[in-house]
């Protein structure tokens, strides 16, 4: 975590984080606009933030977009927060609050973590029903993982797998996987206490998609989860980003998968 504290110590880097918090997913050109820093200086600061895993980058065509990444803050808060002095705890709390503020426009959820495993093992964790059942609260994902194939969901071993319209969009084993995300289901309305009118309104939203990018990073593997296609600050966005009280979202799922791969046991389900 030393890299995180070093990255936060510089006011210019904190300013870049503030700009990304105001509008996530900016290019280098956009971040440079209005700053009294040279493009090369901004690039160097972004490299430091990326090294600390506070910023992650996603290519959109020829454009490289930079996003805030909450993973190191979540890791500190969950595991090591008690080891640091009060000033550092306050700094982390302020940043965590900033990362959780409502985004502007149509948000994109990006989450990057590093896992002590292999690309082959991580791919298995994403695609093997026996694996997903262990860290996804008993849920099994079933598919042949070919482009165009359905991604079925089995909620219990004695139940038939259900087709919620999820389809494999990209499949490059051990490198990249993407599939369309399910829409709201009746059980969601019951879980979150939505009225019939609200549920009927929510199911009209466009479907979203999630992508997993796997990269070798020395002795570990870098995983970037990108979930996009949201029509604004929707209930689905709040759920997958972990902002709904009843849902740990991708941060909890990814942390649980990471823990399973590294220790053999997943995290407890969020309360």
Please compute the mean of the pLDDT values over residues 59-71 and round it to a whole number. Answer: 83
Residue 118 covered by a domain: yes
Question: Do 80 and 125 reside in the same domain of the chain?
Answer: no
State how many domains the chain has.
Answer: 2
Given 99, 124, 151, the domain boundary residue is 99
In whole angstroms, what is the distance from residue 192 CA to residue 213 CA? 31
Average pLDDT of the chain is 85
Give the pLDDT of residue 270.
63
Measuring CA to CA, how many Å separate 86 from each of 81, 82, 91, 94, 155? 10, 9, 9, 12, 43
The answer on pLDDT for 103 being more than 70 is: no
- In a domain, residue 164? The reply is yes
Distances (CA, A) of 3 to 10, 68, 88, 92, 186: 12, 15, 13, 13, 44
Q: What is the model's pLDDT at position 98?
A: 47
Flag whether 271 is in a domain. Answer: no
pLDDT value at 19 more than 80: yes
Q: Looking at the structure, do residues 157 and 238 belong to the same domain, yes or no?
A: yes
Q: Rounded to an integer, what distance in angstroms lies between the CA atom of residue 44 and that of residue 21?
A: 19
User: What's the confidence (pLDDT) of residue 80?
Assistant: 53
**Residue 39 falls inside a structural domain:** yes
- Same domain as 125, residue 78: no
Q: Are residues 113 and 214 in the same domain?
A: yes
**Of 47, 79, 99, which one is at a domain's C-terminal end?**
99
Q: Are residues 195 and 152 in the same domain?
A: yes
Tell me what pLDDT residue 215 has. 95
Burial of 8 (0-12, 13-18, 19+ CB in 10 A): buried
What pLDDT is recorded for position 82? 46
Structural domain harbouring 45: 2-99
pLDDT at position 25 over 90:
no
**In this predicted model, which residue has the larger pLDDT, 250 or 93?**
250
| pTM, full prediction | 0.72
């Amino acid at each position: 975590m030393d890299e995180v504290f070093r990255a936060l110590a510089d006011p210019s880097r904190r300013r870049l984080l503030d700009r990304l918090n105001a509008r996530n997913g900016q290019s280098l050109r956009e971040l440079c606009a209005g700053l009294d820093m040279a493009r090369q200086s901004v690039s160097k600061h972004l490299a430091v933030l990326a090294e600390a895993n506070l910023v992650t980058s996603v290519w959109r065509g020829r454009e490289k977009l930079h996003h805030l990444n909450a993973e190191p803050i979540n890791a500190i808060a969950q595991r090591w927060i008690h080891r640091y002095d009060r000033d550092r705890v306050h700094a982390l709390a302020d940043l965590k609050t900033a990362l959780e503020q409502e985004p502007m426009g149509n948000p994109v959820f990006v989450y990057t973590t590093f896992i002590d495993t292999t690309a082959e093992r991580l791919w298995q964790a994403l695609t093997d029903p026996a694996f997903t059942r262990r860290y996804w609260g008993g849920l099994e994902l079933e598919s042949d993982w070919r482009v165009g194939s359905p991604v079925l969901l089995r909620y219990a071993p004695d139940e038939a797998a259900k087709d919620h319209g999820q389809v494999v969009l990209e499949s490059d084993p051990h490198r990249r996987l993407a599939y369309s995300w399910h829409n709201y289901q009746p059980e969601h309305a019951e879980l979150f206490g939505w009225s019939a009118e609200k549920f009927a309104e929510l199911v009209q939203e466009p479907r979203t998609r999630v992508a997993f990018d796997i990269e070798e990073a020395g002795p570990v593997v870098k995983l970037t989860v990108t979930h996009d296609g949201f029509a604004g600050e929707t209930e689905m966005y709040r759920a997958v980003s972990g902002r709904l009280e009843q849902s740990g979202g991708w941060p909890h799922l990814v942390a649980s998968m990471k823990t399973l791969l590294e220790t053999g046991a997943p995290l407890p389900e969020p309360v």
